[in-house]
Structure 1
Amino acid sequence: MKATLIISVYKDVSALDAVLRSVALQKETDFEVIISQDCDDPCFDELIQKFSKNISITHLQQPDQGFLKTKMLNKAIRASKSERLIFIDGDCVLHPRFVKEYVRYIQPGRFCISRRVNLDAETSRKIRSGEKTVPGYIEMIKNKSTSVEESFPLWSLLQRKIVPLLGCNMGWHKSDLIKINGFDETYVTPGFGEDTDIEFRARKAGMVPFSTRYKTIQYHLFHERPNREELVKVSKELFAERKTREDFRCQFGLETLEN
């Protein structure tokens, strides 16, 4: 098996339906899917049963006890059967070459960083309803989607800048995640932390960032965003404290370490 696609979800059924439809169209077929659900709600059961007929899907859950995404991500890493791990969110639709490109670029010692197109409300509505699976360029521009350039592969010839890691579109070699003890489970507020922290620790461990922008293309479905300013502040304060530590491994991750 060439890769494991880990999809972080909560309860957005129409979004995951759209994502799995795009997964079913991938040019690369030798990969598994792990749906990492940060609650134990049965809302996805019927959907997963439908897609499991043609896609290898493992569904992981845990009790709904707050924002424990990093804990679920570590569970997904442990359950994965591949060395190439691809992480996305459950509201990010994939270009047909998405997995194929990650298989091409993920390797030990480096982590892959990419971005996403932010779809407008109307294009997102059509995808959620099943009218289409992947948006077209003209439609996105006409409907005023943002960051549409992220879907133009030729931009990779012009843009060489390494941007910060984004948790909804990143690729890792499992051995590297094991080395740094996976995701830090002490980040329990949304909006900031789990991706910033793991990038910092990976760099500290000697791993290098590698841009797959304009190649590993995904489209983020529109949804209203809550105000998370105070929650982000909590995570930033935690990250500032974590940066002062010498060890690149987190204490609470894939395994619990001694202080």
Structure 2
Amino acid sequence: MENAKEKLHITVIMATYNMPDWLEKVLCGYEQQTYPDFDVIVADDGSGPETQAVIDRFQERGQLKLTHLWHEDEGYRRQTILNKAIVEAQGAYILFTDGDCIPRADFVAFHAAQAERGRFLSGGYCKLPMETSKAIALGDIESQACFAPNWLKSNGLTGRSQLRKLSASPGWGKLLDAITPTGATFNNCNTSAWKADLLAVNGYDERMRYGGPDREIGERLENMGVRGKQVRHRAVVVHLDHARGYKTKESLEKNLAIRAHTRKAKVVRTAYGIEQEKT
């Protein structure tokens, strides 16, 4: 870990909503992690009993330190449950991901090794088509076969850019991260930051719906002086396919307006986050 010598306990915050089959695969991925000092909070935006059953099974297995944080389904309130998870996090360092992103076995270890004061880590994902997503069995996660380019290609994945993230050696991945034109943004599926920094900006803006709320908290972190660090070719997750029925034109336009104000006014602390300001 850069700029620190102490053992780092990490809390993984994993957002989910009614995708129990995918969540089972993702939690299996966290059981394979080489880094031992982490716990997992499933931040659940109101899923039904099928999701609870999956979490119960993994809690009974006892291989993960696993907390289920849930609230009632009252429409899209993902930022609200994520803020609650930030407050509940045991770790001084928080790794954000989604319940549809299976981590490679070195995923948490890499974030721990790269954690740096004054920075947040900006990862990406290898996006899978539905055919490939369904083909992944728990045994493929346990063996790590589902991260092998040849296995993925044989099960329907195409596209060099997706496979490049999985085939890069550590040295080559570092070079690709240095030269990529993609910005080091805050990406909920694969990003990490210090809890103290997240509290300082008051967490996620709870006015926002689907379409950029993670980018907006990253922009406020940048306004505070916490800069993004690109790791998209080295911190590896595979993203399982799914529909996005919660994506609307209205939500995207509202979110873009909030983000534009954040950038123009150099906003650091939202009034609509963990601590709601009284008006």
- Output the TM-score relative to the length of structure 2: 0.85
SS in 2 for 1:54: coil
SS in 1 for 2:12: strand
Q: Which residue number corresponds to residue 5 of structure 2?
A: none
SS in 2 for 1:115: coil
Kept after mapping to 2: 8 A contact 1:118/1:148 = no
Q: 2:109 aligns with which of 77, 97, 100?
A: 100
CA distance in 2, matches of 1:208, 1:145: 33
The percent of aligned pairs where both chains have the same amino acid is 25
Which aligned pairs between 1:236-255 and structure 2 lie closer than 5 A? 236-255=256-275
Kept after mapping to 2: 8 A contact 1:126/1:132 = no
Q: Which residue number corresponds to residue 137 of structure 1?
A: 149
CA RMSD after TM alignment:
1.9
Q: 2:165 aligns with which of 126, 129, 150?
A: 150
Q: 1:205 aligns with which of 219, 224, 236?
A: 224
Residue 172 to residue 15, structure 1, CA distance change in 2 (3 Å): same
Q: 2:33 aligns with which of 26, 43, 51?
A: 26
Matched residue type, 2:149: Y
What are the ranges of 5 or more consecutive residues in structure 2 without an aligned counterpart?
1-7
CA distance in 1, matches of 2:153, 2:164: 10
Identify which range, 79-88 or 138-147, moves more after superposition: 138-147
Matched residue type, 1:73: L
Q: 1:224 aligns with which of 243, 267, 275?
A: 243
Matched residue type, 2:231: T
Report how many residues are paired.
256
SS in 2 for 1:155: helix
CA distance in 1, matches of 2:30, 2:65: 11
Kept after mapping to 1: 8 A contact 2:177/2:230 = no
Residue 148 to residue 4, structure 1, CA distance change in 2 (3 Å): same
Residue 246 to residue 159, structure 1, CA distance change in 2 (3 Å): closer
CA distance in 2, matches of 1:118, 1:246: 33
How much does 1:245 deviate?
A: 3.4
CA distance in 2, matches of 1:215, 1:167: 16
Structure with greater helix percent:
2
Q: 2:19 aligns with which of 1, 7, 12?
A: 12
- Output the TM-score relative to the length of structure 1: 0.91
What are the ranges of 5 or more consecutive residues in structure 1 without an aligned counterpart?
none
**Deviation >6 Å, runs of 4+:** none
Identify which range, 197-206 or 114-123, moves more after superposition: 114-123
1:125 partnered with 2:144: no
Kept after mapping to 2: 8 A contact 1:108/1:175 = no
SS in 2 for 1:132: helix
Residue 246 to residue 117, structure 1, CA distance change in 2 (3 Å): closer
